[in-house]
Amino acid sequence: MSRGFLPVTRTEMKERGWDEVDFVYVSGDAYVDHPSFGHAIITRLLEAHGYRVGIIAQPDWKDKESVCVFGEPRLGFLVSGGNMDSMVNHYTVSKKRRRQDSYTPGGEMGRRPDYAVVVYGNLIRQTYKNTPIILGGIEASLRRLAHYDYWSDKLKRSVLLDSGADLISYGMGEHSIVEIADALAAGIDVKDITFIDGTVCKVKSLDSVYDAVVLEPYEAMKQDKLLYAKSFYTQYCNTDPVAGKRLAEPYSEHLYVVQNPPAKPLTQEEMDFVYGLPYMRTYHPSYEKAGGVPAIAEVKFSLISNRGCFGACSFCALTFHQGRIIQTRSHASLLDEAEGFTKDKEFKGYIHDVGGPTANFRAPACDKQLKHGACVNKQCLFPKPCKNLKADHQDYLELLRELRRLPGVKKVFIRSGIRFDYLLADRDESFFKELCQYHVSGQLKVAPEHVSDPVLSMMGKPEHAVYEEFAKKYKRWNEKLNLKQYLVPYLMSSHPGSTLKDAVKLAEYLRDLGYMPEQVQDFYPTPSTISTCMYYTGVDPRTMKPVYVPKNPHEKAMQRALIQYRNPQNYDLVAEALKKTGRMDLIGFGETCLIRPRKLHAEREAGAGKRSAVKKKAIRNVHKKKR
């Protein structure tokens, strides 16, 4: 394996003594050879298995020549939109264009197309008619079957069909991409690669797909949203690598998209191997003139210790992408990477994070998951922690202690998020104490998301009383340790199930807390989440019961404004919301009021101005008399 960057030009390919590459990896992100970037993991893994890989990062999608840098690869093209869905990368929830792309040199916007995997796939197919094209990454993974697309407000087909690609490697991809590569290298036609776990393929008939659960037909789902809700929940119930079934989605009598069961989770040894590959751990030097790639800053001195999440929040796509079974790296692997930090001249002694999707998940939720998989119709933490849940922070605690003891390490922070209900389920408070004592930088960010229990239920989050208990314990530990540290709650407005009354309740909570968040996340309907399905269909796919969905932009603006009711720019929206909900008692001068009456407030201001003018005039008259 090489110790330099993989080739990005034909010249670099020739310098390695290669006449051709086996795979060309086309990415919507700039080339950053760091394990926080999907393209780095997949390309290094293929290299470790003996394959030659060239990288084309952010090609000009208006120019066919931009994907011809290496000529036709021997085995195929690998295509990813990048670390984020390209539409989320480009647009805010209000569908306004973002100003910066952190995955592009200099943060420049516009270096990748909308719907990147579809555009790149078609660009390649126009030039190379028969070369295999394999899609991967989060954009392809979450759009692998029919999905609601918020930006066009339509139910879209699988990206496999719209991109002209042959296969999708969904999920994290390490197992499936090596199996695909080996099958192609063995001479198997890509059209016959229909059997690999963790992949999606297309077939003309189901004659050879004998064990698939057949989903609702795409054309029928376009006409009936409830059919889509039903189909989506079937998909959701088959995301487990142990219990998940093969799924087939009909598009016509002669076209089916088949999702094979999810790939098996990586073992700890496999995780260690993947993260121990010879990454350069920074962006390609060709980006230096542009100022580098902003996204590297936060992850360069962070440690990825786990994958997967059994929290299963409704608005999160992790269940579809990484799954619910936790996978971890060994202490030795993490300590070795941390020791590497201390040899970097830019390292100041601070490890920015030790975590993953949820930092304090370091083992499967229960022993049964390893044999039987995650429960299909039950969640580990919602609505209450399962009786089989093993809430234990000892392994994570020992890892953090070992990291703190490393020479050259001053502080180890945890920034990737603590699941507070899981922390409370652990009767041993050793981790809680040391979290406050060593791993908080003045503020701990947590995600209660809301205070209304009906809304929290739709979100798959614990009751508000659980967060209140956590907040009290956090305060108590900080007082015992004589530390002044605060909780910063992440909050979400306009989630399905949230009414204006719920938003007012949240505003009252913030009033009592004496806190106004600087940033508020309005619910963003991204592909393949339960919440997005609710947003599109108006029902909870788990129960098929109707759900109130705030879609009107003006109501969404009111819900958002209530969370930041102290901002003068939000006054009119807050006043309107309070009037609509019959809460005029919150407009006044009392301690419990959110805003002042504008007319009375204006009159008082005007009166104060007149009194001041009269006083000034009297003073001038006194001075005149003296003269």
State the binding site: 309, 313, 316
The DSSP bridge partners found for residue 351 are 412
CB atoms within 10 A of CB 309: 24
> Is residue 22 within 8 Å of residue 47, measured between CB atoms?
no
Question: Residue 595 carries which DSSP code?
Answer: B
Which structure tokens are listed for 280? 């350069």
Question: Residue 72 carries which DSSP code?
Answer: S
Question: Residue 587 carries which DSSP code?
Answer: B
Please give the annotated binding residues for [4Fe-4S] cluster, written as ranges: 309, 313, 316
Count of all residues that appear for the chain in the document: 627
* CA neighbor of 54 nearest in space, from 2, 102, 101: 2
Q: In terms of C-beta density within 10 A (0-12 exposed, 13-18 middle, 19 or more buried), how is residue 161 classed?
A: middle
* CA neighbor of 58 nearest in space, from 105, 93, 128: 105
Secondary structure of the chain: what % helix, strand, coil (to 5)? Answer: 40, 15, 45
Q: Strands 53-57, 23-27: parallel, antiparallel or unpaired by DSSP?
A: parallel
> Is residue 19 within 8 Å of residue 66, measured between CB atoms?
no
Give me the sign of the Cα torsion angle 157, 266, 352, 301. Answer: negative
Q: Which residues, in sequence order, are CB contacts of 444 under 8 Å at separation 6+?
A: 418, 435, 436, 474, 485, 486, 487, 488
Segment holding 492, helix H or strand E: strand 486-493
> Is residue 33 within 8 Å of residue 279, measured between CB atoms?
yes
